[in-house]
Structures are given as structure tokens and as C-alpha cells.
Amino acid sequence: MDPSSSAPTAAPPSPTVSQRDQWMVESHVFQIYQLFATIPPNAQSVMLELQRDKHIEFLSKGLRHLGSAFTVLDAKCCWLCSRPWLCYWILHSIALLGESVDDELQDDTVDFLNRCQDPNGGYAGGPGQMPHLATTYAAVNTLITLGGQKSLASINRDKLYGFLRRMKQPNGGFRMHVEGEIDVRACYTAISVASVLNILDNELIQNVGDYISSCQTYEGGIAGEPGSEAHGGYTFCGLAAMILIGEVNRLDLPRLVEWVVFRQGKECGFQGRTNKLVDGCYSFWQGGAVALLQRLYSTTVDKQMEEASDIFTTSDVSEEKVSLDGTSGNATHHFRDEDISESCSGDFKNIGYDFINKWRAREPLFHSIALQQYILLCSQEQDGGLRDKPGKRRDHYHTCYCLSGLSLCQYSWSKRPDSPPLPNVVLGPYSNLLEPIHPLFNVVFERYCEAHEFFFAGS
């Protein structure tokens, strides 16, 4: 047979829809980075500036008037699309920017959330609707963000505790609402609210650790329910809840760290799941999980090296060496059960307070400068508001979680939760600095401290 007459080589397979989407996102992001790299330094400074006034204008307008896209905000919408959530996203973003709303608007918000509070406990998506754990979390965080006697005293803790008990399931999980789904998100919202309001007890905690542990996947991340795929939002929720109940050492933390840090991609932002597109909101969901894990590390390197069997490798960044190309070095770290137990020891009611105030100085486990770059250059809109990625529209949800992630980055090297970071770890002008947050609850740290004093006084 003549070799020249052999069959032609088969054509390569066509790219999948996911591959094409990934290439498109990379192209958009890298065009922005290329532009940034080629413009004069003064123009670079402008691109890296956080547009505070524009963001405040966008947020304030949203609080007073929502466009037609938000007119159908009832129980038929997804769990995020309800008015307490909009109050939280907007008011938390304003607080992160160091601003507040006027007394009249604050009173109106408290009065509105009172109308969302069910007579039998919990908050609904709107007046007269069914109470829901997600909107309960959003409403409580909003009232803590507003602060003050009227706001904090408006929460009926006794009735709310009863609602949480009714949502609790024998397997340790919680339902989002009556006859609703059981998942890790419900566990977190219930435990977070109970912890910050000082109503967390053994009845609410019972078997929660069993349920969340069963949701950790072979990858290391945490799924919404057993057998599902690891997801950034559920990973944050599961990890934070396990810390708040004092059972975080039941998770496989080395695998969890490995999964989370590898979700930061070449675009410099985080993806929510393996092989998915980057999204600005995961600046908090994944970045927040990494920030929590950072606080679980031992402070003594010598002790870390003594137990070689516990050693594992994660991405490590030196802020003195990083550049905007996203490169980083490697270092060796490991968890020790006694370190984790110490950081979450004592009365579980005070874990949220003790956890953030027993700061363990560690360098970030992710590339914090690169993430700030993605948020400022790719998620920020110059006319105000932040977005998922280039090509997407700004919205209040992404504005909230992009700014929350930016705050985590800026304070990721600080030894104390509220100690001002050095200028070299804040990308762009130092005026970009936001307020610090409590990473377990995602409320501004100062407002959390006020709420803790209010709800724990005399306990």
C-alpha cells in the first residue's frame, strides 16, 4: 500500500462551550491588563483608584429606588432576590466605604425590617411572607450594620431562637424555611445569626458538625449537601459554621486549603468551582475562606516543622516580591490539631469574638495583590458599582462581595483585625483603604463589636 495514500489525520475536536467562554474571559481580562501595563504611571494610578464617590452614588440611589429589574421581589424569586438582602448588600457596602446613611433612612430601614419580622420568629423576604433563614441572616446583618439601640433592640431574639429550633433537623442540618431545602447554607445562616445574637446553644449545635463534615468532597472543598460538587459559597459557609461551633478540626483542612487556593486563576480573581469562570463575588466567598484558614495556622514555624507527617504545600506570597504579573513563590505549612483547638477553645458562645481577637500573624495564603488587581481593574466600573467580570453589568450583590473581598485583601497582613495595613499591601492609593470586616459574619468590625457588647452584656 502506498503510504502517500493513507487516510488524512483526523481534525482536532471542536472546543466546548465552556472552553470558548473561558478563552473569551481571559481575552477580556488580559486586554485590560495589557492596557494597564502600557499606559503612563499617572494613568495607571487613575485606573487603580477606588471610585468611592461613584460607588456611594450608585449604592445610595439603589437604596432609595430600584429599577424595573428588581420590581418582582417576592418569595417566588431566588433566595438572594429579596428586599432584606438588598438592604444588606447596599448598607454593608456603604459601611465598608466608611460612610453611613441619614437618620431618616436608617429609621425607615429598621421599620421596614420590623414588618418583615414574623410574629413567630425569623425574617421574611417582605412583609407578610414566610420567614426564611437566608433573609433572617440578611436582616440581622443589616440591623447590626446600622447599629444603635433602636436597630439592635428591634430583633426579637426569643422568637428568632424558636424559628431556628423549628428549622433544625435530626441529621444536624437546617431547613431554609418550612418544608424547604436542607443544605450547608442553611447551617451557616442559622449558626451565624445565633452566634452573633448570643442565642447559640447545644440544641442548635447538635449534629451540625456531622452534617457539614459529610459535605466535604474528595477535592477538599465543601458542597451544599452530601454527594454534590464543592463550591466556594458553600465552602465558606461550612468552614465558618464549623469554626463557630468549635468543630473545625473535624474537617480535612490541608485538602481544604489546597482546593481553595487553587481556585485563584490566571485572571487573578477566584472561581467558584473547579473549571468554572472567574467571578468577582468569590473575592469574598473564596477569599473569606482563605482568610479564615489563615487564622487557624500556628504562629511557630519551628513547631510546624517538627511533625513532618502533617506537612503539605500551599501557595505562598511575599508582598515584597509580588508584581502585577501574578507570580508567587512556594512555602511549606501545616496545621496542628492543638493550634486549631486553641484558636476555637472555650465557651462556643464567645468563639466569634475570641477567634478574631486572637489574631495569628501569618502571611496570606493567596495572592492578595493580584486579587486587588482583578477587583479594581476588572470588576470595578468607573461610573460606580462592581461586577462579576468584564462584559457583565454592575449590581449590588457583586458590589457588596467585591468590596468585602477587597477589604480582606487589604488587612490580610495585619496582626490585629483593625490595625491599619502598611501602604505596600494596599494596591493603588492608600485612600483605597476600606473598613475592616469580621470574616466570620461579613459585617464591619466596629459594628460587630458594638453588637457583641449589646447582646453579650451581662451574659
Decide if 218 is catalytic: no
Decide if 2 is catalytic: no
Q: Which one of the listed residues 87, 215, 281, 344 is annotated catalytic?
A: 281
Decide if 438 is catalytic: no
Q: Which one of the listed residues 88, 123, 132, 279 is annotated catalytic?
A: 279
Q: What backbone torsions phi and psi does residue 322 show, to the nearest 5 degrees? A: -70, 155
SS3 of residue 235 by DSSP: helix
The residues near 19 (Cβ < 8 Å, ≥ 6 apart) are none
Decide if 282 is catalytic: yes
**How far is Cα 64 from Cα 381, in angstroms, rounded to an integer?**
21
**How far is Cα 260 from Cα 190, in angstroms, rounded to an integer?**
24
SS3 of residue 362 by DSSP: coil
Q: Which one of the listed residues 92, 132, 273, 447 is annotated catalytic?
A: 273
**How far is Cα 142 from Cα 139, in angstroms, rounded to an integer?**
5
> Helices 83-96 and 103-116 sit at what angle, rounded to 10 degrees?
150
Q: Which one of the listed residues 255, 276, 349, 392 is annotated catalytic?
A: 276
**How far is Cα 406 from Cα 284, in angstroms, rounded to an integer?**
8
SS3 of residue 124 by DSSP: strand
Decide if 388 is catalytic: yes
Q: Which one of the listed residues 33, 123, 282, 297 is annotated catalytic?
A: 282
**How far is Cα 144 from Cα 195, in angstroms, rounded to an integer?**
13
E strands in 128-282: none
SS3 of residue 437 by DSSP: strand
Residue bearing cell 459601611: 95
Q: Which one of the listed residues 168, 231, 295, 452 is annotated catalytic?
A: 231
Decide if 88 is catalytic: no
Decide if 237 is catalytic: no
The residues near 280 (Cβ < 8 Å, ≥ 6 apart) are 269, 374, 375, 378, 379, 386, 387, 388, 389, 398, 401, 402, 405
311: how many CB neighbours lie within 10 A of its CB?
14
Q: Which one of the listed residues 87, 395, 401, 402 is annotated catalytic?
A: 395
**How far is Cα 88 from Cα 233, in angstroms, rounded to an integer?**
17
Question: Which value, in Å, is the radius of gyration of the alpha carbons in the chain?
Answer: 23
**DSSP assignment of 392-405, as one string?**
SPPBHHHHHHHHHH
**How far is Cα 301 from Cα 5, in angstroms, rounded to an integer?**
66
> Helices 83-96 and 133-146 sit at what angle, rounded to 10 degrees?
40
Q: Helices (DSSP H) in 97-201: which residue ranges? A: 103-116, 133-146, 149-153, 157-167, 184-196
Q: Quick check: 249 and 310 in contact, CB under 8 A? A: no
Total length of the chain:
459
Decide if 279 is catalytic: yes
Decide if 276 is catalytic: yes
Question: So which residues are the catalytic ones?
Answer: 231, 273, 276, 279, 281-282, 388, 395, 398
